Chains A and B, each alone.
Chain A
Amino acid sequence: MNGRFLRRVRAFFTRRRLDRELDAELAAHLDLAIEENLERGLSPEEARRVALAELGGAQQARERHREARGLMRLDIFLHDLRYTFRTLGRDPGFTAVAILILALGIGANIAVFSVVNTLMLRPLPFPNAQELVWIAPPPQKCGLSCATYSTDAYDEFRMYTHSYQDVTGYFAFSSPGNLSLTIGNSGPLPATSIDVIANFFNVLGVRPAMGRLFTPADALDGASPVIVLSDAWWRRQFNADPQIIGKAFDINGRQTTVVGVLPASFDFGAVFSPGAKIDAITPLDLYGPPRDWGNIVTLIGRMKPGVTLAQARQDANAALPHMCWNNKYPQSCGSYRRGAIPVPLKEYVSGRLRRSLIVLWSAVGLILLIACVNLSNLLLARATARSKEFAMRAALGASRGRIIGQLLTESLILSGIGALLGLCLANLLVFWLAHQGAIALPLLGTMRIDGTALAWTLLVALATAFLFGIFPGARMAAGNLQESLKDSGLGAGQSRKHERVRSILVVTEVALACVLLVGAGLLLRSFLKVLDIDLGFQPERAYAIKVDLPPYASDQGLRTQQAYHGLIGRRTAFFQQVIARVLQIPGVETAGFSDYLPLGQNREWGTPWPKGIPQPDALPAGPLVYVVTPGFLRAMGTPLRGRDFNWDDNFNTQSVVIISQAYAQFVAAKAHWDNGDAVGHTLSNGQQDLYIIGVAANVHEETTEGDAGWQIYYPQTQAQPTSAQLVLRATLPVNSGPVLQALRTLNPNQTAAEFRPLQTFVDHANSPRRFFMFLVAAFAALGLLLAALGIYGVISYSVTRQTQEIGIRMALGATMGRVQREVLAATLRLAAIGILLGTAASLAVARLIASLLFATSPWDLATYLGMAAVLLAIAVISGFLPARRAAHVDPMVALRAN
Chain B
Amino acid sequence: MKPSKLDLLQGTLDLMVLKTLAAMGSLHGYGIARRIEQVSGNQVLLNQGTIYASLVRLEQRGWIRSSWGVSGNHRKAKFYSLTAAGQRRLSEDARYWERLSGVMDRVLQMDKDSGALPEDGEPA
Contacts and interface: CB of A to CB of B under 8 A. Distances in A.
Interface of A: 3-4, 7-8, 11, 21-22, 24-26, 28-29, 31-33, 35-36, 54-58, 60-61, 64-65, 67-69
B52 A33 contact: no
Q: How large is the interface on B (under 10, 10 to 19, 20 to 34, 35 or more residues)?
A: 20 to 34
A4 B54 CA distance: 14
A65 B30 contact: no
Interface stretch (B1-9, B42-50, B108-116): B42-50
15 contacts: A8-B60, A11-B56, A11-B60, A26-B49, A29-B29, A31-B75, A32-B31, A35-B73, A55-B47, A56-B49, A57-B49, A58-B49, A61-B53, A64-B52, A64-B53
A730 to B, nearest CB: 87
Contacts of B31: 32
B48 A56 contact: yes
A22 B52 contact: yes
B50 A54 contact: no
Nearest to A18: B56
A32 B78 CA distance: 12
Interface in B58-78: 60-62, 71, 73, 75-78
Contacts of A35: 73, 75
Interface in B84-110: none
B75 A32 contact: yes
Contact of A60 (B30, B49, B61): B49
B62 to A, nearest CB: 7
Contacts of B33: 29
B28 interface: yes
Interface of B: 28-31, 33-34, 47-50, 52-54, 56-57, 60-62, 71, 73, 75-78
A25 B33 CA distance: 13
B52 A32 contact: no
Contacts of B56: 11, 65, 68-69
Given A8-B60, A28-B77, A68 B49 contact: no
A4 B29 CA distance: 21
Contacts of A31: 75
B91 to A, nearest CB: 20
B49 A4 contact: no
A57 to B, nearest CB: 6
B47 A32 contact: no
A4 B60 CA distance: 6
B60 A69 contact: yes
B53 A65 contact: yes
Which of A4, A7, A65 is the most central at the interface, judged by chain B CB atoms within 10 Å of its CB? A65
Contacts of B50: 56, 61, 64
Contacts of B48: 29, 33, 54-56
Contacts of B34: 36
A61 to B, nearest CB: 3
Contacts of A3: 62
Given A7-B60, A33-B30, A61 B52 contact: yes
Given A22-B52, A28-B75, A69-B56, 11 more contacts: A4-B61, A21-B78, A28-B29, A28-B76, A54-B47, A56-B48, A57-B49, A65-B56, A67-B53, A68-B56, A69-B57
Given A57-B49, A65-B52, A29 B60 contact: no
B112 to A, nearest CB: 43
A59 to B, nearest CB: 9
Q: Give 10 closest A-B pairs by Cβ, nearest first.
A: A61-B49, A56-B47, A64-B53, A68-B53, A32-B30, A28-B77, A69-B56, A7-B60, A29-B30, A68-B57
Contacts of A33: 30, 48
A42 to B, nearest CB: 15
A19 to B, nearest CB: 11
Contacts of B62: 3-4
Which of B49, B61, B77 is the most central at the interface, judged by chain A CB atoms within 10 Å of its CB? B49
Contact of B54 (A36, A57, A60, A68): A68
A8 B62 CA distance: 12
Contacts of B30: 28-29, 32-33
A734 B52 CA distance: 91
Nearest to A6: B60
B12 to A, nearest CB: 15
A108 B57 CA distance: 49
A130 B20 CA distance: 70
Contacts of B60: 4, 7-8, 11, 69
Given A29-B30, A69-B60, A55 B49 contact: yes
B77 A25 contact: yes
A755 to B, nearest CB: 79
A588 B34 CA distance: 111
Contacts of B57: 68-69
B52 A25 contact: yes
Contacts of A11: 56, 60
Nearest to B72: A32
Nearest to B47: A56
Contacts of A25: 29, 52, 77-78
Contacts of A55: 47-49
Contacts of A36: 34
A31 B61 CA distance: 29
A725 B86 CA distance: 93
A26 B75 CA distance: 13
A141 to B, nearest CB: 77
A839 B46 CA distance: 69
B63 to A, nearest CB: 11
B90 to A, nearest CB: 18
Given A32-B71, A33-B30, A69-B56, A60 B47 contact: yes
A68 B10 CA distance: 13
A514 B1 CA distance: 76
A506 B53 CA distance: 51
A36 B34 CA distance: 10
A26 B29 CA distance: 9
A60 B49 CA distance: 7
A794 B49 CA distance: 53
B6 to A, nearest CB: 15
Given A25-B29, A25-B52, A57 B73 contact: no
Given A64-B52, A65-B52, A28 B47 contact: no
- Report which residue of B34, B50, B56, B76 has the largest number of chain A beta carbons within 10 angstroms of its beta carbon: B56
A661 to B, nearest CB: 89
